[in-house]
Amino acid sequence: MPFVFAPRRTAAAVLTAALLVPLAACGSDGDEPGSADKSTASGAPEAELTVLAASSLTDVFKTAGAAYEKGHPGTEVTFSFAGSQELAAQVEQGAPADALVTADTRTMHGLEADTGTPTVIAKNRLVIATGKGNPEKVENLADLADPGLKVVLAAPEVPVGRYSEQILDAQKLDVKPVSQEPNVRAVLSKVELGEADAGLVYRTDAATATDKVDAIDIPDAQNAVASYPAATLKASKNSEAAAAFVTWLSTPEAQKILAGAGFQKP
């Protein structure tokens, strides 16, 4: 009889609803993908971070990023490497990113409306990179003025190019480069490939290619010191996680990684 079964179906429906309510509540208690309340065991928020970084940090930041992810489960760090001037243009154009590390304070200061307070995390110096075995017998900065020598420099808009111009001008040397490159890695590549006899690069970049290039030291009195400031980006959608990463770059763990790659203390 129909009226006998109706109450049973109603009771079953009520029971099912009662069971589903606590399950739904458990699934919505801040555990949904992308929840702003998620955090790692270290206390840093979980996030997928994008860090814009100077080309000269390419190798060391890959190591640093892996170390950070290991110590901060749930946080993934992706780097975008380019010349500092290119990174600045990306920030000004609103590229989605969370933090920025440049190879000079000048570029960072020009972005103060877009960044948090910067912190210098490392320093660097320039060397003369030559082909392996130094076939042209380059010994010092003065040799770069030899018109018979193919010298490549970074463009003056690039921090390493500006540093190069600074130290050459200080020695009153007229060096005419065969090309001006968009970042330090492009300068190094020209020397590695034999397309240039010599180039001015950071000491740390030359150290990544010891099988292909030699590095001629430049005396401190004739050299320039490159400072690397790091800052969060105000447009970041992961501001807390970005701040945690930038802070970590000054910790003993991160500083050991930077020193191991040849960077100097801030």
Per residue in 111-150, pLDDT tens?
999 999 999 999 999 999 999 999 999 999 999 999 999 9
pLDDT at 236 over 80: yes
* Model confidence pLDDT, tens digit, residues 31-61: 333 334 355 555 556 789 999 999 999 999 9
pLDDT band at 12 (very low <50, low <70, confident <90, very high): very low
Report how far residue 254's alpha carbon sits from residue 245's, in angstroms, rounded to the nearest whole number.
10
One-letter identity of residue 115: T
Mean pLDDT of the chain: 87
pLDDT at 14 over 90: no
Report how far residue 62's alpha carbon sits from residue 172's, in angstroms, rounded to the nearest whole number.
38
Tokens coding 33:
């993908």
**Residue of higher predicted confidence among 140 and 2:** 140
pLDDT band at 201 (very low <50, low <70, confident <90, very high): very high
Q: Helices then strands (H, E): number in the chain? A: 9, 9
Name the residue ranges covered by the structural domains of the chain.
Answer: 47-123+226-260, 125-225
Give Dmax over CA atoms of the chain in angstroms.
Answer: 108
pLDDT at 39: 54
pLDDT band at 4 (very low <50, low <70, confident <90, very high): very low
Do the domains spanning 47-123+226-260 and 125-225 agree at the CATH topology level?
Answer: yes
CATH topology of domain 47-123+226-260: D-Maltodextrin-Binding Protein; domain 2 (3.40.190)
Contact, 179 vs 200, CB < 8 A?
A: no
Tokens coding 211:
């099988």
- For residue 85, give Cα distances in angstroms to 82, 91, 159: 8, 10, 8
Burial of 37-76, coded b for 16+ CB within 10 Å and e otherwise, reads ebbbeeebbbbebbbbbbbbbbbbbeebbebbeeebebbe
Report how far residue 75's alpha carbon sits from residue 255's, in angstroms, rounded to the nearest whole number.
20
Strand residues in 1-58 grouped as ranges (E): 47-54
pLDDT at 9 over 60: no
pLDDT at 7: 40
| Angle subtended at Cα 34 by Cα 60 and Cα 229, rounded to the nearest 5 degrees | 30
pLDDT at 36: 43
* Residue 226, φ and ψ in degrees, nearest 5: -95, 130
Terminal alpha carbon distance of the chain: 86
CATH topology of domain 125-225: D-Maltodextrin-Binding Protein; domain 2 (3.40.190)
pLDDT at 264 over 60: yes
pLDDT at 179 over 90: yes
One-letter identity of residue 85: Q
Nearest to 185 by CA among 57, 52, 51: 57
Q: H or E element: which one contains 224?
A: none
Nearest to 239 by CA among 32, 8, 49, 27: 49
pLDDT at 46: 79
